[in-house]
Structure 1
Amino acid sequence: MKVEEKTIRKKFEHLNSNKIPKPNLLMHCFNAFWVGGFICVIGQFVSDFFSRMGVPSDELGTYVSIVMVFLGAILTGIGIYDKLGDFAGAGSVVPITGFANSIVSPAMEFKKEGFVFGVAAKMFTIAGPVLVYGIGSSVIVGILYYFLRW
């Protein structure tokens, strides 16, 4: 019986692989490139705006990050960022607006379960591991740098 199931499974996988449309990889890469670039251009406009407003250069990155995370959260909240993600893939995920999307999306999805067990508990389900391993690896690199620098 097991051999027959394996044979049926292989036939199904073969038939299924022939019917699945092949994605246009070049077009996906192009869309990711220009959408990610456009998000970065918006960030540059925000940076230039704050620079003209007299914000010191050492604080400029903080201001831009706050505005871009806010824009990503707002666009996620009104349903635009998910459509952008479907269209652009990694081009919308890599910039800091993708970080905002990864926090807001689960929070919106589980808001019916309440603020504590829904929003607060699920908010960092996607971004949490990134933060943990990002902070952990930066601590390890910092310690190595401290001991190995000349």
Structure 2
Amino acid sequence: MDQQQYQQIEDQITPPTPYVKNVLKAFLIGGLVCTIGHAFTYFYIIFFNFTETTVGNPTAATMVFIAALLTGLGIYRKIAQVAGAGTAVPVTGFSNAVVSAAIEGKTEGFVLGVGSNMFKMAGSVILFGVASAFFVALIKLILVTMGVVEW
């Protein structure tokens, strides 16, 4: 059997991928996650007197905590099986990835298992996040110094 025959057999056996259905589910559930985030934003603004400029951190922390809790309880995985890419909304998806990696390493001990596995996942994100923040700040500093933008 050559490669072409194998590919024909594989195409016959493999069911078609429902792209439109998957995109719609990801869009709707990802939108629901963002809507929940906005609900927390308004909750903090109304009940705790945060401003629009200061409410971002508590909202992100709340979403990270909820995603970590749902991951630890095994619920996030079930939601992800239905939603697909819709659960990869940046803050909650990152929280899920870090907590999942930490859970996988718990049999190896707290430091070498949980700690190292957690930062295998988070390390590259933290590294490139800090590096990109540095370069954006440097560009802004140059633009402010040149008088192009105000601080």
Alpha-carbon separation, structure 2, partners of 1:27 and 1:16: 23
Alpha-carbon separation, structure 2, partners of 1:106 and 1:135: 21
Whether 2:137 is the aligned partner of 1:142: answer yes
CA contact (8 A) 2:33 2:89 kept: no
Q: Residues 91-137 of structure 1: CA distance to partner in whole angstroms, max 9, x if unpaired?
A: 11124111110110010011000001110000022232122112212
Q: Residues 22-70 of structure 1: CA distance to partner in whole angstroms, max 9, x if unpaired?
A: 2111111110111011111111221222222133214321111111111
Q: Which moved more, 1:20-29 or 1:85-94?
A: 85-94
Whether 2:119 is the aligned partner of 1:127: answer no
What residue in structure 1 maps to residue 5 of structure 2? 11
Query: How many matched pairs?
Result: 144
Distance 1:50 1:144, change over 3 A: closer
The one-letter amino acid paired with 1:53 is: F
CA contact (8 A) 1:39 1:95 kept: no
Unaligned ranges ≥5, structure 1: 1-6
Q: CA RMSD in A?
A: 1.8
CA contact (8 A) 1:69 1:96 kept: yes
Unaligned ranges ≥5, structure 2: none
What residue in structure 2 maps to residue 3 of structure 1? none
Corresponding residue SS for 1:125: helix
Alpha-carbon separation, structure 1, partners of 2:46 and 2:136: 36
Q: Which moved more, 1:10-19 or 1:79-88?
A: 10-19
Of residues 16, 21, 31, the one that matches 2:15 is 21
What residue in structure 2 maps to residue 4 of structure 1? none
Corresponding residue SS for 2:120: coil
CA contact (8 A) 2:25 2:86 kept: yes
What residue in structure 2 maps to residue 111 of structure 1? 106
Alpha-carbon separation, structure 2, partners of 1:79 and 1:88: 15
What residue in structure 1 maps to residue 39 of structure 2? 45
What residue in structure 1 maps to residue 70 of structure 2? 75
Runs of 4+ in 1 over 3 A off after TM superposition: 7-11
CA-CA distance at 1:9 after TM superposition: 4.4
Q: Which moved more, 1:50-59 or 1:81-90?
A: 50-59
| TM-score, with structure 1 as normaliser | 0.85
What residue in structure 1 maps to residue 30 of structure 2? 36
| TM-score, with structure 2 as normaliser | 0.85
Could you tell me the percent identity over the aligned residues?
Answer: 35
